Structure formats: structure tokens, C-alpha cells
Amino acid sequence: MLLFSINPHSGVPVYRQIMDQVRYHVAAGTLAPGQQLPSIRELAHTLAVNPATIAKAYSELEHDGVIELQRGRGAFIHATPPSMPRDQRRQRLRTLAERMAVEARQTGADDADIRVALDQALISLNRKRPS
């Protein structure tokens, strides 16, 4: 079973942390299309959070096309991964890259360090994907 973890002190809402983890595992290939997620009640119990928090995360993920909620059956990873229009995807990537660059600079990293870290992350991500 996939393990979720939350950090109540991170400043990121719990439902967002869950959403981010599901998105990460879908991108990494550790959650495959059609795979079932834990039930709302089960995950709420495991994480010791209100079931409404899990329901909100699942609802947002369904709205974004990441999962499919089947009444009476549960939540499943959507068969076809969501895609966004090219312009929207490029804007999102610019935003993510800028955030990464700023945070990396705050640690004292230079441009080369940042590029190496991104390349290593992509290599690691590609290794995790099923072939």
C-alpha cells in the first residue's frame, strides 16, 4: 500500500499535501492508471485527519482529471493522464522553475548546482517509471 505522510507544521494545507503526493506518485509511475487509492475513511483514519479533508483532496484531484471517483467503489487513478494546453504547461513550468531557482539560491546554490539537481531529479524520475 502506498504511504502518505503529512506535516501539520509545513504551512501547506493537508488536502494540498495529499494532492501533491498523489500527483508525484502518478508522475513517478508508482501509481499506475486504474490503481485504487485508499478509501476516504481509511486514509483519514491512517493520517488522523478529518474525512472531509481527504474528500476535498480527492474531489480536487477528480476535477483536475488525475483520479476518477466511482460511487460505491472508490477512487482510482485516471486511465489517461491529464494534459494541459502547451501555453498553460509552459507557464506552469516557468513558475515551478522560478520557485526552484529562488529556493536553491537561498541555499547558496549557483546555476550549475541548480542544473545538476534538476537533471538528477529527471534521471531519478525516469528510472522509477515502469518501462
Phi then psi for residue 67, to 5 deg, are -125, 165
**Structural domain range at position 120:** 86-128
Shared domain for 20 and 73, answered yes or no, is yes
Contact 37, 66 (CB under 8 A): no
Residue 95 CA to residue 54 CA, distance in Å, equals 27
Arithmetic mean of pLDDT over the chain: 90
Shared domain for 21 and 63, answered yes or no, is yes
Residue 119 CA to residue 96 CA, distance in Å, equals 15
| CATH (domain of 34) | 1.10.10.10
C-alpha cell at 53: 479533508
Q: What is the pLDDT of residue 1?
A: 58
Indicate whether 46 belongs to any domain. yes
**Residues 47-91: tens digit of each pLDDT:** 999 999 999 999 999 998 999 999 999 999 998 866 777 888 888
pLDDT tier for residue 124 given thresholds of 50, 70 and 90: confident
